Amino acid sequence: MAAYRNTPGFQRVLHAVKHVCFSKQRCGVIICRYSTVYDPNEKVSLIIRVIKTCKKMGIKTVAVHSDVDSSAVHVKVADEAVCVGPAPTSKSYLNMDAIMNAIKQTGAQAVHPGYGFLSENKEFAKRLAAEGVTFIGPDTHAIQAMGDKIESKLIAKAAKVNTIPGFDGVVKDAEEAVKIAGEIGYPVMIKASAGGGGKGMRIAWNDEETREGFRFSSQEALSSFGDDRLLIEKFIDNPRHIEIQVLADKHGDALWLNERECSIQRRNQKVVEEAPSTFLDPDTRRAMGEQAVSLANAVKYSSAGTVEFLVDSKKNFYFLEMNTRLQVEHPITECITGLDLVQQMIRIAKGYKLQHKQSDIPINGWAVESRVYAEDPYKSFGLPSIGRLSQYQEPLDLPNVRVDSGIQEGSDISIYYDPMISKLVTYGKTREEALKKMEDALDNYVIRGVTHNIPLLREIIVHPRFVSGDISTKFLPEVYPDGFKGHMLTAGERRELLATAAALYVAAQLRSQKFLGDLRVSVVPAESRQWELCVELDKGVHMLGVSRSGNNYTVEIDGEKVEVSGEWNLASALLPITINGKHRTLQCLLRTAAGEISLQYLGTSFKLRVLSNLAASLSKHMPEKVPEDTSSILRSPMPGSVVAVSVKPGDNVAEGQEICVIEAMKMQNSMTAAKTAKVKSVHCKAGDTVGEGDLLVELE
């Protein structure tokens, strides 16, 4: 690491824009647990990403926040904090007047804009320059040129950067979109000119999808960026999404800091990233890096930035866009290069030359990043979930694990901002080592109070196709064509799970018989060492025999014996045990007096019921709840706001017809009819806020 004593002349930096660090867009600092060089003996401390670097450089920090973020972690960690308005981003994090007032009020000399919103807004950069405040990012020309996808593509062509065939102008309306798509040839990608992060992007395979895509993309673009202009390009089917990190100073020097593989996506938003890529050879890496630097030089870029490419199966690569800011996935580049990109951005903003040459940039080891979201992965690979983090524990006791987050136990995940919880990063000397560490980190990550996507993340990193490097942007729909269903248990894993549930049940029963280490009643008979249990899992019923010796349990299932041992600390969120000599970390999510047990095993939550033989024989007399007929009703699959309602009582609708549109975290989702029927009643209207499961429409 370069010494921090060479401090630029900033005494106070305002982190003034709500960032998209983890798309959480929580306020203008990048929030994380941070370390750039991974020492196995180093414990990564809790601190906000940019603030930590500023503190090491001797720079005071000011955080801005909305009123609902007044208790957020970044507010507590910064030297000062200023509220810039209510929760809606247009009234707070996009409110330039309020942010400029905060700058004047605190005397901040520079602004680090974070990862999103105003970070790529040229007007904001101009206003800062007019006030003599340094913008820690590129100048307004580069922001404007690269922030507009139409202009950036023309500049890329002029800089001899490979580009995707398509229409370079602004698409006026849906019918023109259909005409252009027909000329280019399906499939096409419709995307917002000022967009990013998957917002305002739709793939269309025919005229009808083009019209629908134009409508939704323009609405999302206007909502997210205040700019509804769209462009259309040829969709490169089944590509990889690989991006190059660049770093350029104000003296004409620029570097490429190797690549990041970002192909695992859902709805055009990244889910798992790694650096380097398994696919690139040195020659392709160099060619992509040189083109990325050529583009940066063409717009006189100065700061950290990212040039994104689509790469086909023959390693042909095409310019996608340039992000004139720090990327969400920048930590994995820091891991393999040892560079602190935030420190480099601050030095460049002050006018210092780059400290490194291209030959100095290494690829040391391998890094993997999982984006942990408050989402339900069983719904379209992730629809938002809201709630309060009733329990939260990051896996930072494991070596070579980094967690960039801005939340803590008790934090609220609200409808106002993106649902990302954190960026979980693991590092190893090899890819195999980094993936194994990620597997362990996900197993040890405790999140309660909201639904999260850890089940999906863990399945991705252990899937044979991912492990072999056979991936593309279509990985998820190809691997899970019927949607994600969670981990599919093998026969051996099923026995492990059943045995663990039985052992946990017995351990809980034994603990309930004791008080301060002694038997509750002196006349209680000697402790039993043999149990006959009935365990239900996935509508299957299993008869188990359990014997105990200390903390060791032998469970007999269908003639097979499973040895389970552990400390059985029932108060702990984590359940580290050994099963047949193999170490596993499970989490007990629920345990009731009725024998219900929910265990998070191999990332997925499984519901079991453990009963004594007597209780099992009586349970058959209990009535079962009749499931709701979901074909006749439409409930909101996520919390959000109603953008439009397309039907009224008495209307006839066809199966698949749009009934209403729900916007959640700036993404618009079309809700459709499950069958052909007449509308019986409508329970929502445009502008309503709805929760997950709320009734929207009833059909006859």
Select, from the ranges 347-351, 443-447, 506-510, 512-516, the one with the highest average predicted confidence (pLDDT). Answer: 443-447
Q: What is the per-residue pLDDT for 167?
A: 85
pLDDT tens per residue across span 91-131:
888 889 999 999 999 988 999 887 666 888 888 999 999 99
Q: Where are the alpha helices (DSSP H) in 207-353?
A: 207-225, 282-298, 330-337, 341-350
Beta-strand relationship, 80-83 and 60-65: parallel
Strand ranges inside 439-507, DSSP E: 446-448
pLDDT at 37 over 70: no
pLDDT at 330 over 90: yes
Q: Which pair of structure tokens corresponds to residue 227?
A: 């700019």
pLDDT at 4 over 70: no
Closest listed residue to residue 425, CA positions, set 538, 254, 272, 552 = 272
| 40 band by pLDDT with thresholds 50, 70 and 90 | very low
Largest CA distance in the chain: 90
- Reply yes or no: is the peptide bond before residue 113 cis, omega within 30 of 0: no
Closest listed residue to residue 204, CA positions, set 216, 220, 195 = 216
Q: How far apart are CA 73 and CA 77, in angstroms?
A: 6
Burial 417-440 (b: 16+ CB within 10 A, else e): bbbbbbbbbbbbeebebbbebbbb
Element (H, E) at 682: strand 677-682
Q: How far apart are CA 37 and CA 338, in angstroms?
A: 6
Q: What is the per-residue pLDDT for 637?
A: 86
Q: How far apart are CA 14 and CA 109, in angstroms?
A: 8
| 41 band by pLDDT with thresholds 50, 70 and 90 | very low
pLDDT at 16 over 90: no
pLDDT tens per residue across span 573-591:
999 999 999 999 999 999 9
Q: How far apart are CA 280 and CA 346, in angstroms?
A: 31
User: Which residues participate in catalysis according to the annotation?
Assistant: 325
pLDDT tens per residue across span 428-453:
999 999 999 999 999 999 999 999 99
Q: What is the per-residue pLDDT for 413?
A: 82
Instruction: Report the side by side order of strands in the sheet with 188-192.
Output: 166-167, 230-234, 188-192, 201-204
pLDDT at 689 over 50: yes
Round the average pLDDT of the chain to a whole number and report it: 86
| Percent of the chain that is helix, strand, coil (3-state, to 5) | 25, 30, 40
Q: What is the per-residue pLDDT for 10?
A: 65
Select, from the ranges 221-225, 403-407, 539-543, the one with the highest average predicted confidence (pLDDT). Answer: 539-543
**Domains, the chain, ranges and CATH?**
28-136 (3.40.50.20), 165-234 (3.30.1490.20), 240-480 (3.30.470.20), 491-512+528-620 (3.30.700.30), 633-699 (2.40.50.100)
- Residue in the structure block whose two tokens are 């890096």: 289
Q: How far apart are CA 576 and CA 395, in angstroms?
A: 13
pLDDT at 44 over 50: no
Q: Give mean pLDDT, residues 28-33.
A: 28
**Which carries the bigger pLDDT value, residue 48 or residue 194?**
194
Q: What's the N-to-C CA distance of the chain in angstroms?
A: 67
Q: Give mean pLDDT, residues 458-484.
A: 96
Share of the chain above pLDDT 90, in %: 56
Q: Which amino acid is at 231?
A: L
Count the alpha carbons within 13 Å of 459 in the hemisphere toward its beta carbon.
22
pLDDT at 310 over 70: yes
| 38 band by pLDDT with thresholds 50, 70 and 90 | very low
Burial group, residue 399, by CB count within 10 angstroms (0-12, 13-18, 19+):
middle
pLDDT tens per residue across span 347-376:
999 999 999 999 999 999 999 999 999 999
**Which carries the bigger pLDDT value, residue 292 or residue 233?**
292
Q: How far apart are CA 690 and CA 662, in angstroms?
A: 9
CB–CB of 344/333 below 8 Å? Answer: no
Q: What is the per-residue pLDDT for 63?
A: 86
Please compute Rg for the chain using Cα positions. Answer: 27
Q: Which of 22-26, 160-164, 393-397, 664-668 has the lowest mean pLDDT?
A: 22-26
Q: Give mean pLDDT, residues 275-285.
A: 97
Element (H, E) at 254: strand 254-266
pLDDT tens per residue across span 622-681:
777 777 777 889 999 888 889 999 999 999 999 989 999 988 766 788 889 989 999 999
pLDDT tens per residue across span 483-494:
999 999 999 999
Q: What is the per-residue pLDDT for 665?
A: 66
**Which carries the bigger pLDDT value, residue 165 or residue 199?**
165
Q: What is the pTM of this model?
A: 0.81
Q: What is the per-residue pLDDT for 280?
A: 97
**Which carries the bigger pLDDT value, residue 170 or residue 282?**
282
Q: What is the per-residue pLDDT for 241?
A: 97
| 477 band by pLDDT with thresholds 50, 70 and 90 | very high
